[in-house]
Structure 1
């Protein structure tokens, strides 16, 4: 990871960039699954392009057999195409444990298609729950709910994790098989929303009530290509899921699905 600007992207296993609503991490430093044992990689076993290591999106183990990730990571393939790897800091290895996915729940309001003419694409309800065929033994992370509004206050320090690109457009993408983390800070919604809508390369919009935004005004760490679905964490609690970022306004904004806004919707798939 390093300081850079970026735009929302969909990444085929973190290697090939094209326009779309995904994201990962740019900036920060290497970390390990020993430090964050609930971070998992959601492997797409049938990626659209060949890759040197098995990869896909990020995710978080929130119960022994439940993973929260982004809906756009898993909405175009059947459950048989996905494997969850835990305890694997380096995706080039066979470290840790793997589980096949028994069931995929995608938020019913999620849409992954082009909007009507004249309207901006919207990042909306981008959250999914994967039920594993058998439990994983590792620790889990609690999920924010409607009582955790203080964790979303502007200025709160957050951590985002992922295996995504180390660089961002206009530079050539440089993917990494190593888990990285970056510190960011919760920021007010309106500047972030405006940055998305005014993005020259890939304008988008979102419902501020269902998203949370971050910015790193010090080192410029942000989300980049390859770690959609990865966790945003505040004080040891999962508060968001990586869905996108912006290259506008000379600012490094990143946006995440606000999990507290979907607490009621997640109760059944997480039960």
Structure 2
């Protein structure tokens, strides 16, 4: 007979946690859904990461109740790359990292604590530098899964339909989060085309190479997909090319999604992992 009151209290505390953790992102950051995508096959995307916050934040165990809020990609046995805006102002002790999951609710999913969180110099106004690295707490010699290789500096994805993956709402403005990992294809457009598509009032990097533009039709990423991978192919192999960063709405016709250009940060990624490698 007290179920209604208990559920109201749970909902209240969940909302308070979301506000505290910045889950209610502004319109310019992507939300937790792949728009007009479809479920992946089991074991197809082993590099996908779910960043989660602990609902029982006082516990240090990686097995407590958690909730998904951002994506990421495994790029080395103990390293994950994600968006800076997913990790800035966050307490890494309250974050958990789920790697290689397909069904979000499978109790056997691998979930890890964070050893180190290293955030690039990120400008919240211009959105430049929207990238962060997470070193996982692993046992000696352990690997968290199958990493996604980084695209080389000379790789040009322009004109290619690339893969985006993530969890969240299947439709805008509806709370119908999928249990299984979703995927969609988005077309990478040239910097010149992107400048014409995105109005000047939005924080597109018009003078540098820190961002990639992709989409602009019916498929898109949104909030909660933030930090997730944009994977493009070279010689039949998928490579990490972009990181979901920001956008104007979700699947807004004529407006591409904006991704951090991973190739622009290769030196920082490699030097950071080298400086913080396990002994």
- TM-score interval for Structure 1 and Structure 2 normalised by the shorter chain: 0.7 to 0.9
Q: 1:123/1:15 Cα in 2 relative to 1: closer, same or farther (>3 Å)?
A: closer
Gapped regions of structure 2 (runs ≥ 5) = 1-17, 58-64, 275-279
Aligned residue pairs: how many? Answer: 239
Establish whether residue 197 from structure 1 lines up as the match of residue 199 from structure 2.
Answer: yes
Establish whether residue 26 from structure 1 lines up as the match of residue 35 from structure 2.
Answer: yes
The equivalent of 1:107 in structure 2 is 120
Q: What are the within-5 Å matches in structure 2 for residues 84-99 of structure 1?
A: 84-99=97-112
Superposition TM-score, scaled by structure 2 size: 0.76
TM-superposed CA distance for 1:166, in Å, is 1.9
The equivalent of 2:214 in structure 1 is 214
TM-superposed CA distance for 1:16, in Å, is 5.2
TM-superposed CA distance for 1:96, in Å, is 2.3
TM-superposed CA distance for 1:195, in Å, is 4.1
Distance 2:92 2:126 in 1: 25
TM-superposed CA distance for 1:126, in Å, is 0.1
Distance 2:220 2:198 in 1: 14
Distance 1:250 1:198 in 2: 17
Note if contact 2:167-2:224 (Cα within 8 Å) is conserved in structure 1: yes
Q: What are the within-5 Å matches in structure 2 for residues 6-45 of structure 1?
A: 18-23=26-31, 24-32=33-41, 34-45=43-54
Distance 1:191 1:46 in 2: 43
The equivalent of 2:273 in structure 1 is 270
Q: Deviations over 1:136-157 (max 9, x none)?
A: 3421110113122x3x22x112
Distance 1:240 1:56 in 2: 19
Distance 1:127 1:61 in 2: 13
Superposition TM-score, scaled by structure 1 size: 0.78
Distance 1:47 1:146 in 2: 42
The equivalent of 2:188 in structure 1 is 186
Gapped regions of structure 1 (runs ≥ 5) = 1-10, 113-120
Q: What are the within-5 Å matches in structure 2 for residues 139-150 of structure 1?
A: 139-148=146-155, 150=156
Note if contact 1:183-1:216 (Cα within 8 Å) is conserved in structure 2: no
For the pair shown, the structure with the greater C-alpha radius of gyration is: 2
1:241 to 240, 243, 248: 243
Note if contact 2:204-2:211 (Cα within 8 Å) is conserved in structure 1: no
